[in-house]
Amino acid sequence: MADEPVRRVGAVALREFEPRDRDAFLAMYAHSAFQGRVGVGGAEAAALFDTFLSWRHASSRENVQLVIADRDDRLIGDVGVRLAGGAASIGIDLHPDHWGRHRLAIDCLRAAEALARTLGAECIVAETRADDSLTARLATWLGASEVPAAEPGSRRWRKMLD
């Protein structure tokens, strides 16, 4: 995967993380609106970036996190797949300046779903906070059905893959 070309998804590209993405990634996680929604920042965000960067060189690609890059190849978010036991957890983060771009989010999540298939997943799952109505809408638009959540205060969706 590290040698794969950039994937075009509508007006954006999905590509592997590179060291040059660090500042934009940390700025996204430091944004006050993002902080209020995700609650990860500072050293934790830097460690997360280093993890994503290391995944591109892993011999086993059970975890894949891709940059969502605009037309100028600047990071505006990221989308990922975590494979475990036939199930792929997918997720997306967009910079707050791009919140509300539902078509962008759906297209990137569909690309993550296709990647999950390529990795051998039998189903995709997504889990969010119980009050996250936007992610609930995205999961529904992707064709996922709500299933019992593993954690109190969260919601979980599942979609079987063909």
3-state secondary structure the chain: CCCCCCEEECCEEEEECCHHHHHHHHHHHHCHHHHHHHCCCHHHHHHHHHHHHHHCCCCCCCEEEEEEECCCCCEEEEEEEEEECCEEEEEEEECHHHCCCHHHHHHHHHHHHHHHHHCCCCEEEEEEECCCHHHHHHHHHCCCEEECCCCCCEEEEEEECC
In a domain, 1, yes or no: no
**Beta bridge pairs of residue 61:** none
In a domain, 99, yes or no: yes
What is the Rg, in whole angstroms, of the alpha carbon atoms belonging to the chain? Answer: 15
List pLDDT tens digits, range 124-146.
Answer: 998 888 888 888 888 888 899 98
In a domain, 2, yes or no: no
The answer to whether 65 and 78 have CB atoms below 8 angstroms apart is: yes
Q: Is the pLDDT of residue 25 over 60?
A: yes
The answer to whether 47 and 33 have CB atoms below 8 angstroms apart is: no
State the residue range of the domain holding 87: 7-160
List pLDDT tens digits, range 97-117.
Answer: 998 888 999 999 999 999 999
- For residue 109, the domain's CATH number is 3.40.630.30
Give the per-residue pLDDT at 2: 46
List pLDDT tens digits, range 34-77.
Answer: 776 666 667 888 999 999 999 998 888 899 999 999 999 999 99
In a domain, 146, yes or no: yes
Give the chain's domain count.
1
How many C-alpha atoms does 17 have within 13 Å on its Cβ side? 26
Q: Is the pLDDT of residue 10 over 60?
A: yes
Q: Which of 102, 113, 98 is nearest to 157 (CA)?
A: 113
